Structure 1
């Protein structure tokens, strides 16, 4: 790695660590409970359990929606949370009603949901995808057409990880419940960036590293009344729902990052949305050859700090690498699928032509990225696209 300065604009993949989160880790390491098992009966074990439960309370409060601390199941991150939700909740629902053998998801879900289709099929479930509209929004009416008395579970994300489009979670949850189905939402991208509307959701996935917490810790919140079949066994931790000694240090750092991200959220959200809108106006101006992936309005229908665009006549890989050479770190849609040279499944589901979708770019940031950095990025992107397409700047 060179001494070159980089401007990091890939917060949707993983956000830089917040000082509050690092401070929580340091405090843990310097405390008597460092390394103590929170399931042990001795004094240090009980204190570790007390602090773990404190982190549980903080996360339940910040997620909102009347979730209780006992609803919080700590996991290794968003992927495990989604896996546990899809398989565990579907199995739990079928355990109550054997005719419920179908799962409904949106066609724009994260791979940690969509890649479970084969696994769920092997378990005896059919998976029905629901397409979004051209702006990437899944409507309640579209969902209702896919529902029926055989549906065990509906899983639709709170905000898309590529376009940032916010979904009408409350409406979708209510439609699911009318059909007798359990409703889960992947809020990994939305948590800490916008207030969550999850009072009607049965389960919510969140992850620490998206908001400046450590990699390797997440949570699935599941209401106590909802049956959940565990995926791991041996030890009885997390009320028997997820076996394995809990990562107290990670949980404390997660809670600290969540508190920092959610503090003054209205003010921070407005600030970040303003910067995103200015960036959109510059890079998507007429004649640039760059267009937004959706017309959803930033901070109303879209996450405040996610800019999703497509460059006509330029492929994503060359854009990402060219920007990297210029000192700017962005991604082509989801970082989890960055090795793929095909068009994004999200943009394809939205009906965007493949030739245009192949030039997609995702720029994501929070309040820690300055306006000056974003202006410098805009200059670099416009220059790069102009050179690659032969357009005059």
Structure 2
């Protein structure tokens, strides 16, 4: 196959020109390679560039976060780990009765895999399940929180189905119980306006929005109690030690600005493409089913189509599509080697045999309608030939 149509942006999006230009500009800068924590001239210049990137990301993120509240990390996984460990332990240190963490059952593995470790550290953990539409109902969270709750964490939009969660309502419920609120906005940032004004912490990552792999951020309110999890330097206000990646931060900032400057237009264009694809591949008689009843509008991320094919498995579908030049995934790229059905679809009540045939098609406005049409025809043909 000479060329491929890449439809796995939710795993990692192709870099945008603005991010590439920022990396190139850094390479030519006098301070390229200088440590931003050094006191000499080039170190100070690198530090100024880093702070400029921090300001740009805070502005793009919104929610009233200040530049000094942006903690650079290696990506979304580290940001989520840092949030759960650091905030839960900080809250417990401030109030010893705060020993429970509440997370949704559809969180990314970078949160759910932390659950056993939180229990080892003396926390109780409650999982809140979604409805069949993939949404966490506020009343379900209300039943789960109480005076012992330290932290609530619910993602802004799901990384497999694209379903947008009612984060503002959930944050209000968490705060009424005296708990803190974190949201994993890795998939939502740069794709939809974020409802994070009342969140205490937010995770984001560069490579989901066309920035480089290997850099992310945890936006953490100054007032939020937090215990560092790593040690060895005073970088990032002591919250995450280690020499910062200035090149990555600048490219991250450039991508964040590019993706949020014209968000409404980009969202509308991308949603139109997704709805058109959805209607074609899930038309009666194709044998292809949507994983959720939520429509691709205000309740779903634009550019993400989540489906399943009863009687076929994801691996077969992915490999057959790959042979035809189309690159998709079964769900989260971080658990692509698993033979088990998606924990997200299982939590939504989708039968195991159906969930084993799930596909996630993800893209942004850069993909052409022609490529999506060719993909739809290929998928429908594969399903027809195997039924």
Give the structure-1-normalised TM-score.
0.98
**1:358-389 deviations in Å (ceiling 9; x for gaps):** 11000000011111110010000000000011
Equivalent position of 2:180 in the other structure? 182
The aligned length equals 387
RMSD: 0.7
Equivalent position of 1:38 in the other structure? 36
1:156-167 to 2 correspondence within 5 Å? 156-167=154-165
1:130 aligns with 2:128: yes
1:306 aligned residue (304, 307, 326): 304
Equivalent position of 2:245 in the other structure? 247
Structure 2: how far apart are the matches of 1:264 and 1:118? Answer: 41
| Structure 1 contact 283–290 (Cα < 8 Å) conserved | yes
Equivalent position of 2:316 in the other structure? 318
1:121-270 to 2 correspondence within 5 Å? 121-270=119-268
1:271 aligned residue (266, 269, 272): 269
1:355 aligned residue (353, 356, 359): 353
1:97 aligns with 2:116: no
Greater shift in the superposed pair: 277-286 or 39-48: 39-48
| Structure 1 contact 269–299 (Cα < 8 Å) conserved | no
Equivalent position of 1:330 in the other structure? 328
Equivalent position of 2:369 in the other structure? 371
| Structure 1 contact 63–191 (Cα < 8 Å) conserved | yes
Give ranges in structure 1 of 5+ residues lacking alignment: none
Give the structure-2-normalised TM-score.
0.99
Structure 1: how far apart are the matches of 2:134 and 2:255? Answer: 29
Equivalent position of 1:66 in the other structure? 64
Structure 2: how far apart are the matches of 1:353 and 1:234? Answer: 48
Structure 1: how far apart are the matches of 2:260 and 2:58? Answer: 13
Equivalent position of 1:82 in the other structure? 80
Using the TM superposition, give the Cα deviation of residue 52 of structure 1 relative to its aligned residue in structure 2, in angstroms: 0.5
Using the TM superposition, give the Cα deviation of residue 79 of structure 1 relative to its aligned residue in structure 2, in angstroms: 0.2
Where does structure 1 differ by over 6 angstroms across 4 or more consecutive aligned residues?
Answer: none
Equivalent position of 1:114 in the other structure? 112
2:54 aligned residue (34, 42, 56): 56
Structure 2: how far apart are the matches of 1:66 and 1:335? Answer: 31
Equivalent position of 2:22 in the other structure? 24
SS of residue in 1 equivalent to 2:12: coil
**1:8-63 deviations in Å (ceiling 9; x for gaps):** 00000000111110110010010001011111111111111111111111111111
SS of residue in 2 equivalent to 1:372: helix
**1:246-295 deviations in Å (ceiling 9; x for gaps):** 00000000000111111211011000000000000000000111011011
Using the TM superposition, give the Cα deviation of residue 342 of structure 1 relative to its aligned residue in structure 2, in angstroms: 1.3
Structure 2: how far apart are the matches of 1:110 and 1:145? Answer: 22
SS of residue in 1 equivalent to 2:116: helix
Using the TM superposition, give the Cα deviation of residue 299 of structure 1 relative to its aligned residue in structure 2, in angstroms: 2.5
Using the TM superposition, give the Cα deviation of residue 126 of structure 1 relative to its aligned residue in structure 2, in angstroms: 1.1
**1:222-253 deviations in Å (ceiling 9; x for gaps):** 00001111111111000111100000000000
SS of residue in 2 equivalent to 1:104: strand
Structure 2: how far apart are the matches of 1:35 and 1:206? Answer: 25
Structure 1: how far apart are the matches of 2:121 and 2:36? Answer: 34
SS of residue in 2 equivalent to 1:209: helix
1:282 aligns with 2:253: no
